[in-house]
Amino acid sequence: MSGSMYKLTEEGKNYLENGLPEANLAESLRGPMKIEDLKARIENFGIALQWAKKKRWIRLESGKLFLVRKTRHIPEHDALKRLSEGKQVDGKMIDLLLKRKLIYMEREDVVKKAEKMLGKEILNLPPELIKTGMWRRVKIKPYNVRVTGKKIYPGKRQPYKHFLSEVRQRLVELGFMEMMGPMIETEFWNFDALYQAQNHPSRDWAQTYTLKHPKYGKLPGRGVVSRVKAAHENGWKTGSTGWGYRWDIKKASQLMPRAHTTASSARTLANLPEIPGKYFAISRCFRPDVIDATHGVEFNQMEGIVIDKSLTFREMLGTLKMFAMEIGGAKKFRFYADYYPFTEPSVQISIKHPEMGWIELAGAGIFRPELTEPLGVKEPVIAWGLGIDRLAMFKLNIKDIRELFSKNLDWLRNQRMLI
């Protein structure tokens, strides 16, 4: 084998596959034909005409082409075929093909590099062998294909955040609009506007965080504040007795880390919500719990409201049924009477989990009139909340709630995606 090596150009490859243009032209001529008619039918017509004439296969007479001699054997085509298979071709033909730019000479160093590998058993398949076609003349060593390569880690979403994105998406599909609220809230929005009495145990220092700094926030306009105050003290115009104590405005303006997402619902209600309206929020909440397998430093809550004049207790049950089916993926569910300070009546739904048995999924209630009316809402409002952290633990097969915020890179890298 000499040091030179010829390879087909794109044009050469095209002719090898589709035939040389002059041959295609000769074949198309069944009788005398007009140049214009053939032009459209033959690819590279100019080249075809030039070479067919040169080879005296055709002649041109008054704008028409006549076939002079039919040819079966086209040496250029054979040569292209041989070269493509790495076989030899004589020097005159090489010159002709080079002149017609159907082949080019491979670089000497490439050929030399490839030649060195001939007859050997190789591990990697180098570009030189592929370029020169000489791969045909080497042995490629078989591998143990049962072994996979080095572990690689794709960039991935954090599993819990990914889960929350999916739930968020699902709620949007169910027609809910997302609410946002600040992480640091006034007690007014976190409690008072929700008709939670100022001496309610959930406002105790053991149940909620208080701030060293900053201490007090601004309250909304006087109208809302005085109506909320009246609702607490004497029920305002809601037909309620109220809690019957002296409401303290200073306590209401104290700032605190949001203890539940319901604070956002209160703000939404006070801010002229759309009616009918469906709202949701997924947000980080803070309570001073001692940290263990069921209590993290922080937790996420998913809550929302449904507002319309047509809503009754039956729609409240229906809202939970929808979550059981759409978010919990459950077919069997059961309702229990429940208690929340700001809803009445209240309900909890449990769903049948194939492995875990009955689990509590969500709670709901109709907001008390002492809550909605002072905020300016006359229509019934269904409030619902879903144990999103626990649902995530089931879906992600996590036993310890702290793993939702895992600091273990290995675990995160190897965690499977939710499907």
Partner 1 sequence: MVEKPKDVDIGGKMPTIEVSHQDLCRLVGKSIPINKLKEEGILFAKGEIDEAKGDLLKIDIKDTNRPDLWSTEGIAREIKGRYVSGGLPRYKTKKSGIVVKVDKGLKGIRPFTVCAVVKNLKIYDHSLSQLIQLQEKVSVTFGRNRKEVAIGVYDLNRIKPPIRFTTVKPDGIKFIPLEFRKALTPRQILKEHPKGREFGYLLEALPEYPMFIDSAEEVLSIPPIINSEYTGKVTKETKDVFIECSGFNLKFLIPALNVMVAALSDRGGDIERVRVVYPGRVLETPELEPKAFELNLEYLNTVSGLDLSIERACRLLNQARYEAKPSGKRIKLLYPAYRQDIMHQRDVVEDVLISYGYNKIEAVIPKLATVGSQNPIESFSSTVSDIMAGLGLQEVLSYILTNKKNLFEKMNLREGGSVEIENIVSANWSVFRTWLLPSLLEFLSRNKHVEYPQGIFEIGDVVNLDNREETKTKDTRKMAVALTDNVVGYEDISSVLDSLLRSLGTEYKLNRIEHPSFIRGRVAGIFVRGRKIGFVGEINPLVLEKWDLEKPVVGLELDLQGLVS
Residues numbered 48-87 forming contacts with partner 1, rule: CB under 8 A:
none
Regarding 45 and contact with partner 1 (CB under 8 A), the answer is no
CA pair distance 164, 157, nearest whole angstrom: 11
Is 264 a binder of partner 1 (CB under 8 A)? Answer: no
Nearer to partner 1, 11 or 338 (CB): 338
Residues 227-256 that bind partner 1 (CB under 8 A): 235, 238-245, 255
Residues 136-165 touching partner 1, rule: CB under 8 A, are: 151, 153-158, 160-162, 165
C-alpha span between 260 and 166 (Å, rounded): 21
Crossing angle for the helix pair 10-18 and 75-84, nearest 10 degrees? 120
Nearest distance, CB of residue 396 and partner 1, angstroms: 12
The amino acid present at 131, given as its one-letter code, is K
Residue 373 has, within 13 A of its CA and on its CB side, a CA count of 15
Binding mask 92-121 for partner 1 (x = CB under 8 A): ------------------------------
**Residue 198 makes contact with partner 1 by CB under 8 A:** no
Please name which of 59, 65, 96, 64 lies closest in space to residue 80, comparing C-alpha atoms.
Answer: 96
Identify the sign of the CA torsion 78, 27, 98, 126. negative
- For position 123 contacting partner 1 by CB under 8 A, the verdict is no
Contact call for residue 322 and partner 1 (CB under 8 A): yes
Options 182, 198, 376, 379; binder of partner 1; rule CB under 8 A: 182
The one-character DSSP state at 57 is S
3-state secondary structure of 157: coil
From the list 115, 248, 289, 379, which residue makes contact with partner 1 (rule: CB under 8 A)?
289
Does the footprint of partner 1 cover residue 390 (CB under 8 A)? Answer: yes
The interface with partner 1 within residues 326-355 (CB under 8 A) comprises 334-342, 344-348, 350
Burial of 383 (0-12, 13-18, 19+ CB in 10 A): buried
Of 60-68, 96-104, 118-126, 287-295, which segment contacts partner 1 by CB under 8 A? 287-295
Quickly list DSSP for 93-138: HHHHHHHTTSEEEPPHHHHHHHHHTTTSEESS--HHHHHHSGGGGS
Nearer to partner 1, 24 or 415 (CB): 415
Quick check: 180 binds partner 1 (CB under 8 A)?
yes
In the complex, what is the shortest distance from the CB of residue 334 to partner 1, in angstroms, rounded to a whole number? Answer: 6
